[in-house]
């Protein structure tokens, strides 16, 4: 194995390690997205419940303070829902970036594997040519040695 091929294989190992790290980050991004989606669903349900509660208050006689409390509760749930939706969008963007990083790392590994394969084929061809040249040289010596025996 040539020095160049050894270096390529070392780089290949490093790139594979980076690919594994990026794959782990992708798994974490999936988990983060799932958590954010669950939280967004919960926030949306709590907002709907708060709106339903406020609507039930409309049918009943109520005081100004209870109406203000219901409106504030609804506004609070609305802001929590908006925050949860924003978190979900961020998690989805993070997931896309993690996926792109994995794809880029995978292409880097593939390129290094291809280079290593080409170097191995080159070494094989070089060794084959060397063996063929050696065999040709032995055959040439044997042929000329046999001819010298015929002449002598």
Q: Output the tens digit of pLDDT for each of the chain's 152 residues.
A: 789 889 999 999 999 999 999 999 999 999 999 999 999 999 999 999 999 988 888 888 878 888 888 899 999 999 999 999 999 999 999 999 999 999 999 999 999 999 999 999 998 888 888 888 888 788 788 777 766 766 65
The CATH homologous superfamily for domain 3-151 is: Helix Hairpins (1.10.287.620)
Q: Is residue 131 within 8 Å of 56, Cβ to Cβ?
A: no
Q: Is residue 79 within 8 Å of 106, Cβ to Cβ?
A: no
What is the tens place of the pLDDT at every residue in 97-126?
Answer: 999 999 999 999 999 999 999 999 998 888
Would you state the pLDDT for residue 129? 85
Q: Which residue bears the tokens 């590994």? A: 109
Q: Give the CA distances from residue 147 to residues 126, 133, 138, 142, in Å, rounded to whole numbers and listed in that order.
A: 31, 21, 14, 9
Would you state the pLDDT for residue 74? 92
Cβ-Cβ contacts under 8 Å for 40 (sequence gap 6 or more): 81, 84, 85, 87, 88
The torsion angles phi and psi of 60, rounded to 5 degrees, stand at: -110, 155
**Enclosing H/E stretch for 30:** helix 3-58
- pTM (2 d.p.): 0.72
Each domain of the chain, given as residue ranges in start order, spans: 3-151
Would you state the pLDDT for residue 151? 60
């Amino acid at each position: 194995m040539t020095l160049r091929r050894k270096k390529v294989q070392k780089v290949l190992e490093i790139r594979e390690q980076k690919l594994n790290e990026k794959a782990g980050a992708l798994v974490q991004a999936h988990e983060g997205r799932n958590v954010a989606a669950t939280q967004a669903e919960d926030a949306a349900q709590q907002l709907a419940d708060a709106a339903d509660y406020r609507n039930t208050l409309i049918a009943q006689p109520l005081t100004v303070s209870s109406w203000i409390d219901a409106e504030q509760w609804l506004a609070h749930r609305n802001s929590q829902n908006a925050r949860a939706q924003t978190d979900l969008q961020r998690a989805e963007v993070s997931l896309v970036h993690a996926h792109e990083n994995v794809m880029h790392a995978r292409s880097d590994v593939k390129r290094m594997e291809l280079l290593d394969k080409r170097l191995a084929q080159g070494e094989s061809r070089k060794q084959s040519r060397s063996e063929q040249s050696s065999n040709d040289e032995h055959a040439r010596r044997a042929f000329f040695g046999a001819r010298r025996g015929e002449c002598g």
